[in-house]
Amino acid sequence: MDKYLIVGLGNPDRKYVNTRHNVGFEMLDTLASYYNIKVNKAKCKAVIGEGKINGTSVVLAKPQTYMNLSGESVRELCNYFKILPQNVIVMYDDISLDVGKIRIRQKGSAGGHNGMKNIIYHLQTEEFPRVRFGIGEPTFDLVDYVLSKFSKDETKLLIESAKCVPDIISLIIKNDISKAMTLYN
């Protein structure tokens, strides 16, 4: 049975908690909580947790390299756990989607996201699933925007999106990404 690596992208310092750029970390925490997987071990430049989703072995990971170097951690984890690139699922923020919107894709380019660029570079492929979470169009400087916190109304929308994460990941692992895309895109 194949093993999956599920990665949430974000930045490790406390000051980045609940910022737009850390949506991947937040969604991974939701997934971990739902499936009762403790993400608390340091390995391969990440904080990880191992468990099962619908009987399939998974490694949940939050790279601690900062966003732009996420691929270093992802590659090391794939090597260590012998996980194929097509079994890597990445969850991350997307400025081209409204807050609360979700986009699931089987594969694709980085779309300007530096964390994804680095993962694609280190895995040497774009052929892996990704789940993007809308954080809204920047209304001021991009760097300041992605490191800003969500409003109360935006937080409510994200909480609704987070409720879908366990089902989305479960469907992708069951090789039913098309159903996940139909239901949640």
Positions marked active-site: 21
DSSP string, 149-169: BPPHHHHHHHHHHHHHHHHHH
**Are 150 and 107 a contacting pair, CB within 8 Å?**
no
Can you state the angle between helices 70-81 and 114-123, rounded to 10 degrees? 40
